[in-house]
């Protein structure tokens, strides 16, 4: 371990999706508690950065745009030039540490870290990265861990120790915050990026009817905004409307989320969340919501909802479609019964 004082500067690189960045917030929070005077900068992308808006543990967020997230009037060349300019501005700040905050060997992130030229780079290494003498290159643990635990291990070299705190997420409820029905609200996120994580709309509709037949609750439906026919950002607008049609006599409302903060605000208003593994699930976990989560072909050990009550369902086929409505209803009964 490299000896440090409380005034060091650290840059944390996390270029992945929303859930990945949320899984980094326990380590950031613990770093702030261990070294209150250290200066923390997070290097994130325009897609995931809003999830750490106003996080009190972070001094600054440096945001760049990935090529696939560029605006219609942005050229590919300008995106790369702007990213390089940002990297070289960061190099002038002379960071003590750059942490490649991920559970894998991230060659591209290590390349960025080397361009920034800190005193030390911290990250996982395998066979493709050759750390310098001052770097802290960790080998992967022999047993599979949660993403939160993998990332937390990287910070031990700068004085961050157990216990691991919950994920950190600040809710900014604006004046445009919509009213939610009084009573118990169940949030359902019907979208999933990966095919094997997608449950049928008919299943969601039947589950709503099963729960509504037994309990007095409301349902708030979330989905990835946009049309299925949008080539760049396909969404599930059509599926949301289909679900509404199937549940015309049930207490169901659609909750449009044009921004990431909209999704955070909406999920914060729910008492329970039912969803597939993905960014919405991790947001719900960071909001400390009890979750029934449906897993397809992703690792349940690596990605289960961190630090909250949950029931995790995964079929032997590793396909969410093979999880029955009865299985999910029983899981909800179990969690709902424990709290009521």
Mean pLDDT of 183-207: 94
Assigned CATH topology for domain 185-339: Rossmann fold (3.40.50)
DSSP-derived letter for residue 305 is P
Cβ-in-10-Å burial (0-12, 13-18, 19+) of 73 comes to: exposed
Task: Tell me the C-alpha distance between 315 and 308, whole Å.
Answer: 22
pLDDT at 339: 53
User: CB of 295 within 8 A of CB of 328?
Assistant: no
Mean pLDDT of 90-96: 95
Please give the model's pTM, rounded to 2 decimal places.
0.91
User: CB of 144 within 8 A of CB of 175?
Assistant: no
User: CB of 158 within 8 A of CB of 27?
Assistant: no
Give the pLDDT confidence of 146-158 residue by residue, as tens digits.
999 999 999 998 9
Task: Tell me the C-alpha distance between 79 and 70, whole Å.
Answer: 7
Tell whether the model's pLDDT for residue 18 goes beyond 90: yes
Q: Where are the domains of the chain?
A: 9-158, 185-339
Task: Tell me the C-alpha distance between 44 and 66, whole Å.
Answer: 10
Task: Tell me the C-alpha distance between 7 and 255, whole Å.
Answer: 44
pLDDT at 138: 93
Mean pLDDT of 69-97: 84
Task: Tell me the C-alpha distance between 141 and 132, whole Å.
Answer: 21
DSSP-derived letter for residue 52 is G
Tell whether the model's pLDDT for residue 3 goes beyond 50: no
Structure tokens at 173: 């409820």
Mean pLDDT of 265-292: 96
Confidence of residue 46 (pLDDT cuts 50, 70, 90): confident
Segments in the chain forming alpha helices (H): 18-22, 25-34, 76-91, 107-116, 147-154, 201-212, 237-246, 260-268, 279-286, 300-303, 325-339
pLDDT at 180: 62
Mean pLDDT of 305-320: 97
DSSP-derived letter for residue 319 is -
Task: Tell me the C-alpha distance between 79 and 46, whole Å.
Answer: 12
Mean pLDDT of 272-276: 97
Q: Are strands 272-276 and 252-254 parallel, antiparallel or unpaired?
A: unpaired
What does the H/E/C string look like for 132-158?
Answer: CCCCEEECCCCCCCCHHHHHHHHCHHH
DSSP-derived letter for residue 174 is -
- 45: β partners: 64
Mean pLDDT of 241-246: 96
Is it true that 9-158 and 185-339 share their CATH fold? yes
User: CB of 194 within 8 A of CB of 298?
Assistant: yes
Q: Which CATH class is domain 9-158?
A: alpha beta
Task: Tell me the C-alpha distance between 103 and 152, whole Å.
Answer: 10
Confidence of residue 177 (pLDDT cuts 50, 70, 90): low
């Amino acid at each position: 371990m490299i000896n440090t004082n409380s005034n060091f500067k650290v840059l944390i690189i996390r270029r992945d999706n929303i859930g990945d960045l949320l899984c980094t917030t326990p380590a950031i929070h613990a770093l702030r508690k261990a070294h209150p005077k250290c200066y923390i900068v997070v290097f994130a992308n325009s897609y995931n950065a809003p999830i750490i808006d106003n996080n009190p543990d972070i001094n600054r967020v440096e945001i760049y745009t990935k090529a696939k997230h560029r605006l219609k009037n942005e050229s590919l060349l300008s995106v790369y030039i702007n990213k390089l300019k940002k990297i070289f501005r960061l190099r002038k700040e002379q960071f003590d540490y750059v942490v490649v905050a991920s559970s894998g060997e991230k060659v591209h992130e290590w390349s960025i870290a080397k361009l920034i030229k800190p005193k030390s780079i911290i990250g996982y290494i395998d066979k493709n990265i050759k750390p310098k003498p001052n770097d802290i290159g960790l080998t992967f643990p022999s047993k599979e861990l949660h993403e939160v635990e993998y990332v937390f291990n990287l910070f031990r070299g700068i004085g961050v120790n157990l216990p691991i705190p919950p994920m950190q997420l600040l809710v900014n409820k604006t004046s445009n915050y919509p009213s939610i029905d009084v009573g118990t609200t169940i949030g359902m996120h019907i979208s999933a990026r990966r095919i094997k994580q997608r449950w049928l709309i008919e299943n969601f509709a039947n589950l709503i009817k099963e729960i509504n037949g037994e309990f007095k609750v409301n349902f708030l439906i979330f989905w990835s905004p946009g049309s299925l026919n949008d080539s760049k950002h396909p969404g599930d607008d059509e599926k949301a409307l289909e679900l509404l049609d199937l549940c015309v006599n049930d207490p169901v409302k659609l909750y449009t989320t044009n921004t990431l903060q909209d999704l955070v605000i909406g999920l914060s208003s729910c008492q329970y969340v039912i969803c597939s593994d993905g960014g919405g699930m991790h947001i719900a976990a960071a909001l400390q919501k009890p979750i029934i989560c449906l897993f397809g072909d992703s690792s349940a050990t690596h990605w289960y909802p961190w630090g909250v009550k949950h029931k995790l369902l995964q079929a032997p086929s590793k396909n969410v479609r093979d999880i029955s409505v009865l299985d999910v209803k029983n899981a909800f009964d179990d969690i709902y019964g424990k709290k009521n």
